[in-house]
Amino acid sequence: MSSNLLTHSLSTGLTTPALIEQTIGAFFDAMVTQRPDHLAVISAHQKQRLTYRELQAQANQLASGLLNLGLATGDRVGIWSHNNVQWLLMQIATAKVGLILVNINPAYRTSELEYALNKVGCKALVTMVRFKTSDYLELLRELGPARLPHLKHTVWLDEAGQGADELGMLRFSQLMASGQTDDPRVAAIAQTLKATDPINIQFTSGTTGFPKGATLTHRNILNNGFFVGECMKLTPADRLCVPVPLYHCFGMVMGNLGCITHGATVVYPNDGFDPLTVLQTVQDERCTALYGVPTMFIAQLDHPRFKEFDLSSLRTGCMAGSPCPIEVMKRVVSDMHMTDVTIAYGMTETSPVSCQSSTDTPLSKRVSTVGQVQPHLQVKVVDPGTGATLPVGESGELCTKGYSVMHSYWDDEAKTREAVDADGWMHTGDLATMDEQGYVNIVGRIKDLVIRGGENVYPREVEEFLYRHPKVQDVQVVGVPDKKYGEELCAWVITKPGQTATEEEIRAFCQGQIAHYKVPRYIRFVPAFPMTITGKIQKFKIREAMKDELQLAEDKTA
């Protein structure tokens, strides 16, 4: 960012250091050559530690095994799992042979899984067996081959002590054993790949009721991981604790690739988030950096055993995913020793980060803004109606342009054109202001996206699902303030004439069909919705009515 003061809300990032123009595989192999014996990954819950050389050998062997399944460059391969070493191996192995890794959210249930796998035509799926109360193989059995016509191979993640083969599915250990660490095909395919090739698909909840597959390239995510790490001044001496999920950009790009691009060590404290294991792992592994959404940091700070842990090794990290309350940020700096903590802003479609504070950003700016534009990118604030760039300080839609803008929404040209204009600007849908130094502040959302504990939920998607209930005539879903999650979902339901329904009935309909975080916490049955004279539903009035009824206050620090 130039030191000249801005008059209009358009800011251009630095052009140094240069962009990385290698593929993920080529860059990773070069890093292995530099630091073969340096620890690449520590998985605390699996008790696994791999050096860069060991990680490379296993990734090459897995890539070979995937080719033995008959998969070819450009094919889509799904990963449906929480955090583990196998996830990282899949990320590197697929990138090495040009397979497109499709991130499936572990919270997905049958209807979402069916849609995602079929939308992008996944030929193979690597899945965990179960997590807490969820039986992933049972969900797949429920769908069956007829409803998943593209899926040819299902591989389950076996751990020591797990029993017989499931339904003739392949074990991950068998897939690994079928490959060679020096398969000449892996190196040969690597020569044919370009940095601009799509390599990853992540689903973002859609305002039309169906998730869209944001398609990202090597160039998109490798560079974004690098520049996020640069903001935190990562070096090979750093150990970055990643309790955020790998199926989001936060984990797989900012976490995994942030470390790989700096020769640092990525540390997984557990498969899913648990505040105690994060604190324990930071202490045990002397982690220097920590990631999380605000709710994760709050859970750690407020844990009854918080004071028992020595977190003095921490220096930096990143808080992102939803607005950070100022008081929480101050406590992270003072009580967790994270004096160089940064705030990042972005979206899956921009790989993800477009703005970030740095370790040099004054604390007042770090707690009140999402920082400045990243290198090799531009951001601007425009009038949503006219598209004109606004003067500094005025609120409008934030747009991003540069290397990080996604390749496309998979197989959806119309939606891609809606999001990315003819000049290459990604329209975020977020309302923001920019000050004269280029610091960006997110002030709201143009549409009614709800962010619940770092998970993006589009009310329309939940509405579309609830419309399927035989007793529901109409439904509107809004976000209402919540102390723990930032926002919770509330559904107002109009039942069909002569029908009555209960809250329990509606929730039971959701169970096992949509992700738990999309199930409305509050359900009310109403005779009508507030509307304008022209018949447009006024969601803000629903929100205000619920805030009054439940006596909910907005968090003014967010």
Spatial CB neighbours of 114, under 8 Å, sequence gap ≥ 6: 143, 147, 148
- 10-29: buried (b, 16+ CB within 10 Å) or exposed (e) per residue? bbbbeeeeeebebbbbbbbb
**Least confident interval from 33-47, 128-142, 232-246, 529-543:** 529-543
* Confidence check: pLDDT of 381 > 50: yes
Average pLDDT across the chain, whole number:
92
What's the mean pLDDT in 151-177? 81
Cα–Cα distance measured from residue 416 to residue 426, given in angstroms and rounded to the nearest whole number:
9
Is the confidence at residue 556, as pLDDT, over 60? Answer: no
Which amino acid is located at 277 in the chain? T
* pLDDT bracket for residue 552 (50, 70, 90): confident
CB 213 within 8 A of CB 200: no
The type of residue at 199 is I
**pTM for this entry:** 0.86
CB count in 10 Å sphere of residue 389: 16
Residue 321 confidence (pLDDT): 76
Is residue 327 very low, low, confident or very high in pLDDT (cuts 50, 70, 90)? confident
The residues, ordered by sequence, that sit 6+ positions from 557 with a Cβ below 8 Å of its Cβ are: 325, 326, 327, 328
Which whole number is the average pLDDT over 301-315? 96
What is the pLDDT, as a whole number, of residue 2? 45
Per DSSP, the residues of 177-200 read HTS-TT-HHHHHHHTT--TTSEEE
Q: What are phi and psi of 138, to 5 degrees?
A: -65, -40
Alpha-carbon span 18 to 227, nearest angstrom = 10
Q: Is pLDDT at 533 greater than 90 in this prediction?
A: no
Determine the pLDDT at residue 1: 46
Set out the domains of the chain in order of their start, with CATH numbers. Answer: 10-431 (3.40.50.12780), 450-550 (3.30.300.30)
Q: Which residue has the tokens 């960006």?
A: 440
Q: Give me the pLDDT at residue 251, please.
A: 97
Q: Is the pLDDT of residue 326 over 70?
A: yes
Q: Would you state the pLDDT for residue 558? A: 36
The pLDDT score that the predictor gives to residue 306 is 97
Q: Cα(189)–Cα(184) distance, rounded to whole angstroms?
A: 9
To the nearest 10°, report the CA torsion of 139, 145, 146, 151: 100
pLDDT surpasses 80 at 532: no
Cis check for the bond before 352: say yes or no (omega within 30 of 0): yes
Q: How many residues does the chain have?
A: 558
Note the pLDDT of residue 13.
Answer: 98
Say which amino acid occupies 157: L
What residue type is assigned to position 1 of the chain?
Answer: M
Phi, psi values for residue 418, rounded to 5° = -65, -35
Instruction: Say what percent of the chain tops pLDDT 70.
Output: 94
